[in-house]
A and B are shown apart, each in its own frame.
Chain A
Protein backbone atom coordinates (compact mmCIF):
# COMPACT_ATOMS: atom_id res chain seq x y z
CA UNK A 1 0.00 0.00 0.00
CA UNK A 2 1.40 3.34 -1.01
CA UNK A 3 2.29 6.01 1.51
CA UNK A 4 0.47 8.59 -0.49
CA UNK A 5 -2.98 9.38 0.39
CA UNK A 6 -4.34 9.68 -3.02
CA UNK A 7 -2.13 9.28 -6.01
CA UNK A 8 -2.97 10.39 -9.47
CA UNK A 9 -3.58 7.00 -10.98
CA UNK A 10 -4.52 5.28 -7.84
CA UNK A 11 -6.80 8.11 -7.03
CA UNK A 12 -8.75 7.33 -10.12
CA UNK A 13 -9.04 3.78 -9.08
CA UNK A 14 -10.03 4.53 -5.58
CA UNK A 15 -12.54 7.08 -6.55
CA UNK A 16 -13.97 4.79 -9.13
CA UNK A 17 -14.38 2.13 -6.54
CA UNK A 18 -16.11 4.46 -4.24
CA UNK A 19 -18.38 6.18 -6.66
CA UNK A 20 -18.89 5.12 -10.24
CA UNK A 21 -20.99 8.11 -10.96
CA UNK A 22 -18.12 10.53 -10.88
CA UNK A 23 -17.52 12.03 -14.29
CA UNK A 24 -14.15 11.49 -15.86
CA UNK A 25 -13.52 15.16 -16.02
CA UNK A 26 -13.49 15.51 -12.36
CA UNK A 27 -11.28 12.53 -12.07
CA UNK A 28 -8.70 13.34 -14.69
CA UNK A 29 -7.90 16.90 -13.78
CA UNK A 30 -6.03 18.15 -10.80
CA UNK A 31 -9.36 19.14 -9.51
CA UNK A 32 -9.90 15.53 -8.58
CA UNK A 33 -7.65 16.04 -5.63
CA UNK A 34 -9.09 19.31 -4.70
CA UNK A 35 -10.07 18.33 -1.27
CA UNK A 36 -6.80 16.65 -0.63
CA UNK A 37 -4.67 19.74 -0.89
CA UNK A 38 -3.65 21.92 2.00
CA UNK A 39 -2.94 25.12 0.13
CA UNK A 40 -4.80 27.62 -1.90
CA UNK A 41 -4.18 25.69 -5.08
CA UNK A 42 -7.83 25.90 -6.00
CA UNK A 43 -7.05 29.25 -7.52
CA UNK A 44 -4.82 27.81 -10.18
CA UNK A 45 -7.56 26.07 -12.12
CA UNK A 46 -6.80 26.65 -15.75
CA UNK A 47 -8.67 25.42 -18.75
CA UNK A 48 -5.57 24.53 -20.67
CA UNK A 49 -4.19 22.55 -17.84
CA UNK A 50 -7.02 20.09 -17.99
CA UNK A 51 -5.82 18.80 -21.31
CA UNK A 52 -2.14 19.17 -20.60
CA UNK A 53 -2.05 17.56 -17.26
CA UNK A 54 -2.94 14.20 -18.66
CA UNK A 55 0.11 14.50 -20.90
CA UNK A 56 2.58 15.80 -18.40
CA UNK A 57 1.59 13.88 -15.33
CA UNK A 58 1.34 16.81 -13.04
CA UNK A 59 3.03 16.50 -9.78
CA UNK A 60 1.00 17.15 -6.76
CA UNK A 61 2.62 19.01 -3.97
CA UNK A 62 1.55 16.37 -1.57
CA UNK A 63 3.81 13.95 -3.33
CA UNK A 64 6.77 16.05 -2.46
CA UNK A 65 8.06 15.16 0.90
CA UNK A 66 9.68 17.34 3.42
CA UNK A 67 7.61 20.43 2.96
CA UNK A 68 7.17 22.66 5.91
CA UNK A 69 4.72 25.32 6.67
CA UNK A 70 5.70 28.96 6.83
CA UNK A 71 7.34 29.96 10.06
CA UNK A 72 8.55 33.51 10.44
CA UNK A 73 8.50 36.01 7.61
CA UNK A 74 11.46 38.13 8.54
CA UNK A 75 14.58 37.39 10.47
CA UNK A 76 16.48 40.57 11.24
CA UNK A 77 15.18 42.30 8.16
CA UNK A 78 15.87 39.39 5.80
CA UNK A 79 12.71 37.84 4.36
CA UNK A 80 12.49 34.10 4.85
CA UNK A 81 11.00 31.95 2.13
CA UNK A 82 9.00 29.04 3.55
CA UNK A 83 10.32 25.60 2.70
CA UNK A 84 7.44 24.45 0.57
CA UNK A 85 6.15 24.66 -2.97
CA UNK A 86 3.15 26.85 -2.34
CA UNK A 87 4.45 29.91 -4.18
CA UNK A 88 5.62 27.87 -7.13
CA UNK A 89 2.34 26.05 -7.41
CA UNK A 90 0.58 29.38 -7.64
CA UNK A 91 2.57 30.39 -10.68
CA UNK A 92 2.70 27.10 -12.56
CA UNK A 93 2.86 23.38 -12.21
CA UNK A 94 5.38 20.57 -11.96
CA UNK A 95 5.21 17.39 -13.96
CA UNK A 96 6.05 13.99 -12.60
CA UNK A 97 9.67 14.35 -13.62
CA UNK A 98 10.02 17.53 -11.64
CA UNK A 99 10.04 19.99 -14.59
CA UNK A 100 8.39 23.26 -13.82
CA UNK A 101 6.03 25.01 -16.22
CA UNK A 102 5.04 28.60 -15.69
CA UNK A 103 1.47 29.54 -16.35
CA UNK A 104 0.82 31.85 -19.27
CA UNK A 105 -1.25 34.35 -17.44
CA UNK A 106 1.22 35.00 -14.73
CA UNK A 107 3.73 36.23 -17.32
CA UNK A 108 5.05 39.51 -16.17
CA UNK A 109 3.60 42.14 -18.38
CA UNK A 110 5.16 45.55 -18.30
CA UNK A 111 2.51 48.19 -18.27
CA UNK A 112 4.69 50.59 -20.16
CA UNK A 113 4.46 48.41 -23.24
CA UNK A 114 0.82 49.24 -23.49
CA UNK A 115 1.64 52.90 -23.59
CA UNK A 116 4.20 52.90 -26.38
CA UNK A 117 3.53 55.32 -29.17
CA UNK A 118 4.34 53.10 -32.17
CA UNK A 119 4.31 56.02 -34.56
CA UNK A 120 7.27 57.61 -32.81
CA UNK A 121 9.14 54.35 -32.67
CA UNK A 122 8.78 54.07 -36.41
CA UNK A 123 10.85 57.22 -36.93
CA UNK A 124 13.94 55.68 -35.38
CA UNK A 125 16.23 53.32 -37.22
CA UNK A 126 13.59 50.79 -36.89
CA UNK A 127 14.54 47.63 -38.67
CA UNK A 128 16.90 46.30 -36.07
CA UNK A 129 14.79 47.43 -33.21
CA UNK A 130 11.68 45.89 -34.67
CA UNK A 131 13.26 42.53 -35.09
CA UNK A 132 14.54 42.69 -31.56
CA UNK A 133 11.19 43.41 -30.05
CA UNK A 134 9.26 40.89 -32.05
CA UNK A 135 11.92 38.25 -31.64
CA UNK A 136 12.27 38.86 -27.95
CA UNK A 137 8.56 38.60 -27.54
CA UNK A 138 8.50 35.32 -29.29
CA UNK A 139 11.17 33.92 -27.14
CA UNK A 140 9.21 34.44 -24.04
CA UNK A 141 7.52 31.13 -23.66
CA UNK A 142 3.92 31.33 -24.57
CA UNK A 143 3.76 34.99 -25.43
CA UNK A 144 2.90 34.20 -29.02
CA UNK A 145 -0.27 36.16 -29.41
CA UNK A 146 1.32 39.43 -28.49
CA UNK A 147 4.29 38.81 -30.73
CA UNK A 148 1.99 38.27 -33.68
CA UNK A 149 0.18 41.50 -32.97
CA UNK A 150 3.43 43.39 -32.97
CA UNK A 151 4.54 41.81 -36.21
CA UNK A 152 1.35 42.87 -37.87
CA UNK A 153 1.80 46.39 -36.63
CA UNK A 154 5.35 46.47 -37.92
CA UNK A 155 4.36 45.21 -41.33
CA UNK A 156 1.76 47.89 -41.65
CA UNK A 157 4.28 50.56 -40.80
CA UNK A 158 6.76 49.15 -43.31
CA UNK A 159 4.14 49.35 -46.03
CA UNK A 160 3.39 52.95 -45.19
CA UNK A 161 7.03 53.87 -45.35
CA UNK A 162 7.58 52.21 -48.71
CA UNK A 163 4.85 54.35 -50.16
CA UNK A 164 6.49 57.47 -48.80
CA UNK A 165 9.89 56.58 -50.22
CA UNK A 166 8.54 56.01 -53.69
CA UNK A 167 7.07 59.47 -53.74
CA UNK A 168 10.37 61.13 -52.92
CA UNK A 169 12.45 59.54 -55.69
CA UNK A 170 10.86 60.93 -58.89
CA UNK A 171 11.66 64.49 -57.82
CA UNK A 172 15.40 63.99 -58.45
CA UNK A 173 15.12 62.80 -62.04
CA UNK A 174 15.24 66.07 -64.01
CA UNK A 175 18.94 66.67 -63.39
CA UNK A 176 19.96 63.07 -63.72
CA UNK A 177 19.48 63.07 -67.45
CA UNK A 178 21.91 65.89 -68.21
CA UNK A 179 25.41 65.14 -69.40
CA UNK A 180 28.48 66.58 -67.77
CA UNK A 181 28.72 69.15 -70.55
CA UNK A 182 25.17 70.31 -70.03
CA UNK A 183 25.70 70.50 -66.30
CA UNK A 184 28.88 72.55 -66.81
CA UNK A 185 27.01 74.87 -69.18
CA UNK A 186 24.30 75.43 -66.64
CA UNK A 187 26.89 76.17 -63.95
CA UNK A 188 28.67 78.69 -66.20
CA UNK A 189 25.39 80.49 -66.76
CA UNK A 190 25.04 81.04 -63.04
CA UNK A 191 28.58 82.30 -62.47
CA UNK A 192 29.95 85.79 -62.94
CA UNK A 193 33.34 86.47 -64.56
CA UNK A 194 36.22 85.92 -62.18
CA UNK A 195 34.17 83.91 -59.72
CA UNK A 196 34.67 80.39 -58.55
CA UNK A 197 31.70 78.14 -57.94
CA UNK A 198 32.20 78.47 -54.19
CA UNK A 199 32.24 82.26 -54.40
CA UNK A 200 29.10 82.21 -56.51
CA UNK A 201 27.35 80.06 -53.93
CA UNK A 202 28.29 82.56 -51.27
CA UNK A 203 27.04 85.43 -53.37
CA UNK A 204 23.75 83.76 -54.12
CA UNK A 205 23.40 82.81 -50.52
CA UNK A 206 23.72 86.44 -49.56
CA UNK A 207 26.78 86.23 -47.33
CA UNK A 208 29.31 88.30 -49.27
CA UNK A 209 28.85 91.69 -47.62
CA UNK A 210 29.70 90.86 -44.03
CA UNK A 211 33.47 91.19 -44.02
CA UNK A 212 33.33 94.56 -45.66
CA UNK A 213 30.76 95.78 -43.18
CA UNK A 214 33.08 94.99 -40.30
CA UNK A 215 35.95 96.89 -41.91
CA UNK A 216 33.80 99.95 -42.40
CA UNK A 217 33.12 99.85 -38.68
CA UNK A 218 29.43 99.99 -39.31
CA UNK A 219 29.59 103.57 -40.51
CA UNK A 220 27.58 102.80 -43.58
CA UNK A 221 24.75 100.38 -43.28
CA UNK A 222 25.73 97.24 -45.14
CA UNK A 223 23.98 96.63 -48.43
CA UNK A 224 21.20 94.14 -48.31
CA UNK A 225 22.56 90.88 -49.63
CA UNK A 226 20.55 89.54 -52.50
CA UNK A 227 19.71 86.01 -51.59
CA UNK A 228 18.54 84.35 -54.73
CA UNK A 229 17.22 81.10 -53.36
CA UNK A 230 16.19 79.60 -56.66
CA UNK A 231 19.56 80.16 -58.29
CA UNK A 232 21.33 79.04 -55.17
CA UNK A 233 19.42 75.78 -55.11
CA UNK A 234 19.99 75.21 -58.76
CA UNK A 235 23.72 75.88 -58.52
CA UNK A 236 24.05 73.64 -55.51
CA UNK A 237 22.24 70.82 -57.26
CA UNK A 238 24.31 71.19 -60.42
CA UNK A 239 27.59 71.30 -58.54
CA UNK A 240 26.58 68.26 -56.55
CA UNK A 241 25.73 66.39 -59.73
CA UNK A 242 29.07 67.29 -61.24
CA UNK A 243 30.94 66.03 -58.22
CA UNK A 244 28.94 62.85 -58.47
CA UNK A 245 29.85 62.47 -62.10
CA UNK A 246 33.57 62.74 -61.37
CA UNK A 247 34.45 66.42 -61.56
CA UNK A 248 35.71 66.65 -58.01
CA UNK A 249 37.27 70.10 -58.22
CA UNK A 250 34.14 71.84 -59.44
CA UNK A 251 33.85 74.10 -56.41
CA UNK A 252 37.25 75.65 -57.04
CA UNK A 253 36.76 76.07 -60.78
CA UNK A 254 36.47 79.65 -61.93
CA UNK A 255 34.08 80.97 -64.54
CA UNK A 256 36.93 81.23 -67.04
CA UNK A 257 38.17 77.74 -66.42
CA UNK A 258 34.75 76.24 -66.86
CA UNK A 259 34.21 78.19 -70.05
CA UNK A 260 37.53 76.90 -71.32
CA UNK A 261 36.57 73.37 -70.37
CA UNK A 262 33.30 73.70 -72.17
CA UNK A 263 35.04 74.89 -75.30
CA UNK A 264 37.25 71.89 -75.29
CA UNK A 265 34.32 69.60 -74.66
CA UNK A 266 32.22 70.93 -77.50
CA UNK A 267 34.45 70.07 -80.43
CA UNK A 268 32.34 71.06 -83.38
CA UNK A 269 30.40 74.03 -82.18
CA UNK A 270 32.22 77.35 -82.02
CA UNK A 271 32.17 78.18 -78.35
CA UNK A 272 30.64 81.59 -77.94
CA UNK A 273 30.18 82.86 -74.44
CA UNK A 274 26.61 83.87 -74.03
CA UNK A 275 27.33 87.01 -72.09
CA UNK A 276 29.63 88.40 -74.72
CA UNK A 277 27.29 87.62 -77.54
CA UNK A 278 24.43 89.14 -75.56
CA UNK A 279 26.43 92.35 -75.11
CA UNK A 280 27.35 92.40 -78.79
CA UNK A 281 23.81 92.19 -79.99
CA UNK A 282 22.66 94.97 -77.76
CA UNK A 283 25.26 97.48 -78.80
CA UNK A 284 24.67 97.57 -82.49
CA UNK A 285 25.94 96.50 -85.86
CA UNK A 286 29.61 97.28 -85.41
CA UNK A 287 29.95 94.88 -82.56
CA UNK A 288 28.00 92.27 -84.42
CA UNK A 289 30.77 92.26 -86.91
CA UNK A 290 33.27 91.77 -84.20
CA UNK A 291 31.12 89.00 -82.87
CA UNK A 292 31.33 87.16 -86.21
CA UNK A 293 35.05 87.48 -86.37
CA UNK A 294 35.32 86.31 -82.83
CA UNK A 295 33.26 83.25 -83.69
CA UNK A 296 35.60 82.37 -86.50
CA UNK A 297 38.67 82.77 -84.36
CA UNK A 298 37.27 80.70 -81.58
CA UNK A 299 36.18 78.11 -84.07
CA UNK A 300 39.69 77.72 -85.36
CA UNK A 301 41.17 77.58 -81.91
CA UNK A 302 38.80 74.91 -80.78
CA UNK A 303 39.62 72.81 -83.80
CA UNK A 304 43.31 73.05 -83.12
CA UNK A 305 42.79 72.17 -79.54
CA UNK A 306 40.87 69.10 -80.53
CA UNK A 307 43.73 67.64 -82.42
CA UNK A 308 46.02 68.04 -79.49
CA UNK A 309 43.43 67.09 -76.93
CA UNK A 310 42.97 63.82 -78.69
CA UNK A 311 46.47 62.92 -77.69
CA UNK A 312 45.62 62.80 -74.07
CA UNK A 313 41.88 62.43 -73.86
CA UNK A 314 40.69 59.96 -76.47
CA UNK A 315 41.17 56.26 -76.61
CA UNK A 316 44.70 55.25 -77.51
CA UNK A 317 45.22 52.50 -80.04
CA UNK A 318 48.40 50.51 -80.34
CA UNK A 319 50.06 48.44 -82.99
CA UNK A 320 52.91 46.08 -82.37
CA UNK A 321 55.34 43.74 -83.99
CA UNK A 322 57.28 40.89 -82.56
CA UNK A 323 60.71 42.04 -83.60
CA UNK A 324 62.10 45.46 -84.11
CA UNK A 325 62.88 45.02 -87.76
CA UNK A 326 61.37 46.74 -90.67
CA UNK A 327 60.14 43.57 -92.23
CA UNK A 328 58.26 42.31 -89.21
CA UNK A 329 54.56 42.17 -89.58
CA UNK A 330 52.61 44.81 -87.71
CA UNK A 331 49.58 43.71 -85.73
CA UNK A 332 46.90 46.09 -84.66
CA UNK A 333 45.31 48.37 -83.87
CA UNK A 334 44.38 47.28 -80.40
CA UNK A 335 43.06 49.20 -77.45
CA UNK A 336 45.14 49.90 -74.40
CA UNK A 337 42.96 47.58 -72.36
CA UNK A 338 43.64 44.72 -74.72
CA UNK A 339 47.36 45.34 -74.65
CA UNK A 340 47.37 45.55 -70.89
CA UNK A 341 45.40 42.33 -70.68
CA UNK A 342 47.90 40.51 -72.86
CA UNK A 343 50.79 41.83 -70.87
CA UNK A 344 49.13 40.63 -67.67
CA UNK A 345 48.59 37.19 -69.11
CA UNK A 346 52.22 36.98 -70.04
CA UNK A 347 51.51 36.75 -73.72
CA UNK A 348 54.23 39.32 -74.37
CA UNK A 349 56.62 37.76 -71.90
CA UNK A 350 59.74 38.70 -73.83
CA UNK A 351 58.41 42.08 -74.85
CA UNK A 352 57.07 43.18 -78.18
CA UNK A 353 57.72 46.40 -79.94
CA UNK A 354 54.72 48.64 -79.99
CA UNK A 355 53.80 52.18 -80.81
CA UNK A 356 50.72 54.31 -80.84
CA UNK A 357 48.70 54.21 -84.01
CA UNK A 358 48.27 57.96 -84.21
CA UNK A 359 51.98 58.62 -84.18
CA UNK A 360 52.58 57.36 -87.66
CA UNK A 361 56.19 56.68 -88.37
CA UNK A 362 57.62 56.92 -84.93
CA UNK A 363 59.88 54.33 -83.49
CA UNK A 364 58.63 51.26 -81.74
CA UNK A 365 59.05 51.03 -78.01
CA UNK A 366 59.53 47.88 -76.01
CA UNK A 367 56.26 46.92 -74.40
CA UNK A 368 58.02 46.16 -71.13
CA UNK A 369 58.70 49.83 -70.59
CA UNK A 370 55.20 50.92 -71.43
CA UNK A 371 52.47 50.90 -68.83
CA UNK A 372 49.25 50.51 -70.80
CA UNK A 373 47.34 51.16 -67.65
CA UNK A 374 48.15 54.84 -68.01
CA UNK A 375 46.25 54.98 -71.27
CA UNK A 376 43.05 53.39 -70.00
Chain B
Protein backbone atom coordinates (compact mmCIF):
# COMPACT_ATOMS: atom_id res chain seq x y z
CA UNK B 1 0.00 0.00 0.00
CA UNK B 2 2.99 2.23 -0.20
CA UNK B 3 1.72 3.73 -3.40
CA UNK B 4 -1.41 5.00 -1.70
CA UNK B 5 0.40 7.15 0.80
CA UNK B 6 2.19 10.35 -0.17
CA UNK B 7 5.97 10.27 -0.49
CA UNK B 8 8.53 12.95 0.18
CA UNK B 9 11.43 12.89 -2.24
CA UNK B 10 14.00 15.23 -0.83
CA UNK B 11 15.10 16.87 2.37
CA UNK B 12 13.47 20.16 1.52
CA UNK B 13 10.10 18.51 1.09
CA UNK B 14 10.44 16.80 4.43
CA UNK B 15 11.28 20.10 6.10
CA UNK B 16 8.40 21.84 4.39
CA UNK B 17 5.99 19.14 5.43
CA UNK B 18 7.11 19.40 9.03
CA UNK B 19 6.95 23.19 9.05
CA UNK B 20 3.70 23.66 7.22
CA UNK B 21 1.44 21.40 9.20
CA UNK B 22 -0.05 23.52 11.99
CA UNK B 23 -2.93 21.52 13.30
CA UNK B 24 -2.02 17.91 12.75
CA UNK B 25 0.60 15.44 13.82
CA UNK B 26 3.04 14.33 11.16
CA UNK B 27 3.75 10.64 11.02
CA UNK B 28 6.79 9.95 8.85
CA UNK B 29 7.82 6.44 7.98
CA UNK B 30 11.49 6.24 7.07
CA UNK B 31 12.44 3.13 5.14
CA UNK B 32 12.05 1.54 1.74
CA UNK B 33 8.89 0.71 -0.12
CA UNK B 34 10.24 -2.72 -1.05
CA UNK B 35 11.27 -3.75 2.43
CA UNK B 36 8.90 -6.36 3.96
CA UNK B 37 8.88 -4.65 7.35
CA UNK B 38 8.01 -1.37 5.75
CA UNK B 39 5.38 -2.98 3.61
CA UNK B 40 3.57 -4.28 6.65
CA UNK B 41 3.98 -1.00 8.42
CA UNK B 42 2.64 0.86 5.38
CA UNK B 43 -0.33 -1.46 5.32
CA UNK B 44 -1.25 -0.55 8.85
CA UNK B 45 -0.57 3.12 8.26
CA UNK B 46 -2.71 3.24 5.19
CA UNK B 47 -5.59 1.51 6.92
CA UNK B 48 -5.65 4.12 9.66
CA UNK B 49 -4.88 7.11 7.43
CA UNK B 50 -8.49 7.89 6.75
CA UNK B 51 -9.53 7.58 10.36
CA UNK B 52 -6.84 9.84 11.76
CA UNK B 53 -6.79 12.36 8.94
CA UNK B 54 -8.33 15.04 11.12
CA UNK B 55 -5.46 15.05 13.53
CA UNK B 56 -2.63 13.31 11.70
CA UNK B 57 -1.08 13.10 8.26
CA UNK B 58 1.20 10.28 7.12
CA UNK B 59 4.17 10.55 4.79
CA UNK B 60 6.66 7.99 3.52
CA UNK B 61 10.34 8.73 3.00
CA UNK B 62 12.83 6.51 1.22
CA UNK B 63 16.06 6.70 3.19
CA UNK B 64 18.18 5.97 0.14
CA UNK B 65 16.53 8.72 -1.84
CA UNK B 66 16.70 11.08 1.13
CA UNK B 67 19.78 10.27 3.18
CA UNK B 68 19.75 13.68 4.91
CA UNK B 69 18.16 12.46 8.10
CA UNK B 70 19.85 9.11 8.51
CA UNK B 71 22.52 10.32 10.84
CA UNK B 72 20.41 12.89 12.62
CA UNK B 73 17.66 10.50 13.56
CA UNK B 74 19.83 7.38 13.61
CA UNK B 75 17.77 5.66 10.96
CA UNK B 76 19.55 2.32 10.94
CA UNK B 77 16.51 0.08 11.17
CA UNK B 78 14.65 -1.28 8.16
CA UNK B 79 11.56 0.70 9.16
CA UNK B 80 11.22 3.69 11.44
CA UNK B 81 8.19 5.81 12.26
CA UNK B 82 8.59 9.21 13.87
CA UNK B 83 6.15 11.83 15.03
CA UNK B 84 6.32 15.59 14.60
CA UNK B 85 4.03 18.37 15.64
CA UNK B 86 4.53 22.03 14.82
CA UNK B 87 8.14 21.59 13.90
CA UNK B 88 8.89 19.66 17.05
CA UNK B 89 9.81 16.01 17.36
CA UNK B 90 7.46 14.32 19.82
CA UNK B 91 8.85 11.49 21.91
CA UNK B 92 6.82 8.51 23.07
CA UNK B 93 7.55 6.34 26.02
CA UNK B 94 6.92 2.93 24.54
CA UNK B 95 8.75 0.99 27.21
CA UNK B 96 11.41 -0.13 24.76
CA UNK B 97 14.09 2.25 25.90
CA UNK B 98 14.02 4.28 22.70
CA UNK B 99 11.55 7.10 23.00
CA UNK B 100 12.30 8.71 19.68
CA UNK B 101 10.75 6.33 17.20
CA UNK B 102 8.83 3.18 16.54
CA UNK B 103 11.17 0.76 14.78
CA UNK B 104 9.03 -2.37 14.63
CA UNK B 105 5.68 -3.26 13.19
CA UNK B 106 2.63 -2.53 15.26
CA UNK B 107 0.13 -4.94 13.85
CA UNK B 108 -2.97 -3.78 15.65
CA UNK B 109 -4.61 -0.84 13.91
CA UNK B 110 -6.40 0.31 17.02
CA UNK B 111 -3.15 0.42 18.93
CA UNK B 112 -1.63 2.52 16.20
CA UNK B 113 -4.58 4.90 16.23
CA UNK B 114 -4.34 5.17 19.98
CA UNK B 115 -0.66 5.98 19.80
CA UNK B 116 -1.20 8.64 17.15
CA UNK B 117 -4.06 10.11 19.12
CA UNK B 118 -2.07 10.19 22.33
CA UNK B 119 0.73 11.96 20.50
CA UNK B 120 -1.75 14.47 19.11
CA UNK B 121 -3.38 15.22 22.44
CA UNK B 122 -0.12 15.46 24.28
CA UNK B 123 1.52 17.63 21.67
CA UNK B 124 -1.47 19.92 21.58
CA UNK B 125 -1.04 20.42 25.30
CA UNK B 126 2.57 21.29 24.80
CA UNK B 127 4.15 18.04 25.95
CA UNK B 128 7.30 16.86 24.25
CA UNK B 129 6.98 13.35 25.65
CA UNK B 130 3.85 11.26 25.82
CA UNK B 131 3.27 7.79 27.22
CA UNK B 132 1.88 5.18 24.90
CA UNK B 133 -1.18 3.40 26.26
CA UNK B 134 0.46 0.04 25.79
CA UNK B 135 3.80 -1.07 27.08
CA UNK B 136 5.92 -2.70 24.39
CA UNK B 137 8.88 -3.64 26.50
CA UNK B 138 8.20 -7.38 26.50
CA UNK B 139 6.86 -7.78 23.01
CA UNK B 140 9.60 -6.09 21.12
CA UNK B 141 12.75 -7.98 20.48
CA UNK B 142 15.77 -7.02 18.39
Point out residues on A near B: beta carbons under 8 Å: 249, 305, 308-309, 311-312, 359, 362-363, 365-366, 369-371, 373-375
Contact B134 A369 (CB under 8 A): yes
Contact B110 A359 (CB under 8 A): yes
B residues 51-84 in Cβ contact with A at 8 Å: 51-55
Residues of chain B within 8 A of A375, CB atoms compared: 121
B103 located at the interface, meaning its Cβ lies under 8 Å from any Cβ of chain A in the complex: no
Contact B135 A369 (CB under 8 A): yes
Point out residues on B near A: beta carbons under 8 Å: 22, 51-55, 108, 110-111, 114, 117-118, 120-122, 125, 130-135
C-alpha spacing A168/B55, complex, angstroms: 43
* 30 A-B residue pairings within 8 Å (CB atoms): A305-B54, A308-B53, A308-B54, A311-B54, A311-B55, A312-B54, A312-B55, A312-B117, A312-B120, A312-B121, A359-B110, A362-B114, A363-B108, A363-B110, A363-B111, A363-B134, A365-B114, A365-B133, A366-B135, A369-B131, A369-B133, A369-B134, A369-B135, A370-B131, A370-B133, A371-B131, A374-B118, A374-B125, A374-B130, A375-B121
Contact B55 A374 (CB under 8 A): no
Residues of chain A within 8 A of B118, CB atoms compared: 374
Residues of chain B within 8 A of A370, CB atoms compared: 131, 133
> Which residue of chain A has its CB nearest to the CB of B53?
A308
Residues of chain A within 8 A of B121, CB atoms compared: 312, 374-375
Say whether, besides A305-B54, A363-B110, A374-B125, A311 and B133 are in contact (CB < 8 Å).
Answer: no
Residues of chain B within 8 A of A362, CB atoms compared: 110, 114
C-alpha spacing A375/B122, complex, angstroms: 9
C-alpha spacing A370/B117, complex, angstroms: 12
Residues of chain A within 8 A of B111, CB atoms compared: 363
